[in-house]
Amino acid sequence: MKKILLISLFLGATNLFAQQPQDSTLVKEIPTIKNNVFQQRQEIDALTKKLKNQNYTIGKQNQTISALQEQNNNLNAYIDSLGQLIQTNSQNIVTNSQELGTRIQETERQADTKISELGGDVEKNRLYWIIATLATLLLGGLIYWLLGKRIATSKTDVETQIRNTKTSLEEESVKLDSKLMQVLDTQLKLKDLSQSGKPESEEKDHSLVLKVADEVTRILMNLEVMDKNIKGYKHLKKYSESILDNLKAYGYEIPQLIGQNYNSGMNMVATMEFDDSIEEGKQIIKRIIKPQINYNNKVIQTAKVIVAYNE
């Protein structure tokens, strides 16, 4: 019995001395981890500032696009005015031709006695008038065709420039958001590692998770209005959704609110926008500004949404 007791004491002492070096190693690594977290936060702030600058550039480009659209509208109005002018000229030509024919007939009736002498001259003059009328019609048609072709070409160039500008801006936005997702994902992993040694009784810091959820939601909302063929679109959407799924492993839940019916009793901040495309009397959540975030079935952030309604 004494031998068994001595062996148990020996094994316990061995485990105690083995555990102490591991704890010492973990304590030494914590400052390095905190330093990495601080550097990553600085990188997030830099990327956020760059995103704001990009959004400002996008706003300027949108103003340029609006100006180009206004120019396009002016060209369309100019086309319409030219069409009306050509139509008026055509009507005038037809009227003049009819009047000319009437005058020729009256001249023929009045000059019956002189037909033998002036017949040749009258026929010649009549032929000249017909040739002039046909030439005028052909010239007017040619001018209309050339102007229409030139204006159509200008309109196509403006629309192409608008599409190219929009595509370029969206591709740049996708690149920046992809880099931001990588940084946020790294932050989450470092935060989980740094808190692994903390006691469960200590209050949990949700600030990083809230920031990650807000950024991922913003990116997903922007992707909803983008062309799905934009380079990097599918990768960014899949990456963003995977980050939201990973948050569930930390005890966080983000309810899907898009498309749900809204009522004033919901615990969220709503901005109402009229939309006649939805069913009359309906109120539907169409965009999320900030997501609702639950932690262990408790709301730690209320949602900010845009609600479409039709009275």
Is 211 within a domain?
no
Burial of 117 (0-12, 13-18, 19+ CB in 10 A): exposed
User: How many domains, in total, are found in the chain?
Assistant: 1
Is 248 within a domain?
no
Is 137 within a domain?
yes
Is 132 within a domain?
yes
Is 78 within a domain?
yes
Is 32 within a domain?
yes
- DSSP β-bridge partners for residue 169: none
What is the structure's pLDDT at 17?
Answer: 47
Is 216 within a domain?
no
pLDDT one-digit tens code per residue, 299-309: 999 999 999 99
The Cα 226–Cα 171 span in angstroms is 10
The 10 Å Cβ neighbour count of residue 67 is 10
pLDDT band at 193 (very low <50, low <70, confident <90, very high): low
Tokens linked to 44: 């997030």
- Averaged over 35-57, what is the pLDDT? 81
The Cα 236–Cα 181 span in angstroms is 8
pLDDT one-digit tens code per residue, 240-291: 888 888 888 888 898 988 889 999 888 999 999 999 988 888 999 999 999 9
Domain hosting 89: range is 21-112+119-195
Q: Compute the mean pLDDT over every residue in the chain, rounded to the nearest whole number.
A: 78
